[in-house]
Amino acid sequence: MSVEPAVIRVEHLTAGYADRALLEDLSFEVQRGEVFAILGGSGSGKSTLLKHLIGLFPPMSGHIWLDGIDIATVQGAARLLALRRIGVAYQSGALFGSLTLAQNVRFPLEEYTELPDEAIELIARMKLDLVGLRDFADSLPAEVSGGMQKRAAIARAMALDPAIVFLDEPSAGLDPVTSAGLDQLILRLKQGLGITFVVVTHELPSIFAIADRVIMLDRQSRSIVAEGRPQELRDHSDIPVVHQFFNRQPAAGVEAG
């Protein structure tokens, strides 16, 4: 796998909003076809990193390469082409409230492909079937539960069968059964279609179930404190924050009190 060029390459990225840097000098690579998890406590900059990776915000310095394209500087048609190769499921779902679930999934297909209408409808329903929502295709987002909205958002993120799918806390707020089902789905899509997943999460069971590699961000140092396979980090890391995270221990201050 390492002979192939990395599908995402981040070089010396400093990221933040306005003049305030939340992450400094990050460098890492994501290989094609792996599930890559971004971990960290609240406020460690996980979502900030994700928003930079998908090109919503330009880096303060450094570069982000998606499939060899610098997402921060690419403009016009090339940018659209790059964005078509990624799919994003946002934390809140961000479904369009006035459209049914099927119409939400249809939206990117209608925008970008020349498929006949009937084919788009079938594809949309199959994507919803993949996330277990075939019977809710004609419901509005407001009519289904939060977990269903989340799964529908994942179906929409995968509407164009992108090469890279970004998931922001996909299993937060889901019941354990649905969450495990989602993990299965991610693994199936990874194995079957070779999709690369970048997942922001702090659900330990899900990390161990799906993640090939993880990076862990830390609020204090504003950088990556650990990188590697989740099992190895759990069993062998001697970095206190990593140890606490994987063994669900309270932070040192709380423990001492």
Q: Which is nearer to another protein, 72 or 130 (CB)?
A: 130
Report the site for another protein in 96-115 (rule: CB under 8 A): 97-98, 109, 112-115
> Per CB under 8 A, does 158 bind another protein?
yes
> Per CB under 8 A, does 142 bind another protein?
yes
> Per CB under 8 A, does 146 bind another protein?
no
> Per CB under 8 A, does 130 bind another protein?
yes
E-assigned strand segments in 3-55: 8-17, 20-30, 35-40
CB of 96 to another protein, least distance (A): 8
DSSP class of 43: T
The residues near 111 (Cβ < 8 Å, ≥ 6 apart) are none
Q: What are phi and psi of 199, to 5 degrees?
A: -120, 125
DSSP class of 134: G
Q: Which stretch binds another protein (CB under 8 A): 47-55, 58-66, 192-200, 237-245?
A: 192-200
> Per CB under 8 A, does 191 bind another protein?
yes
CB of 30 to another protein, least distance (A): 20
> Per CB under 8 A, does 125 bind another protein?
yes
CB of 20 to another protein, least distance (A): 25
What secondary structure, in 3-state letters, does 69-109 show?
EECCCCCHHHHHHHHHCEEEECCCCCCCCCCCHHHHHHHHH
> Cα separation of 25 and 158, whole Å?
31
> Per CB under 8 A, does 129 bind another protein?
yes
Helix (H) or strand (E) segment spanning residue 124: helix 117-130
* List of residues contacting another protein (CB under 8 A): 97-98, 109, 112-116, 118-119, 122-123, 125-127, 129-130, 134, 140-142, 158-161, 188, 191-194
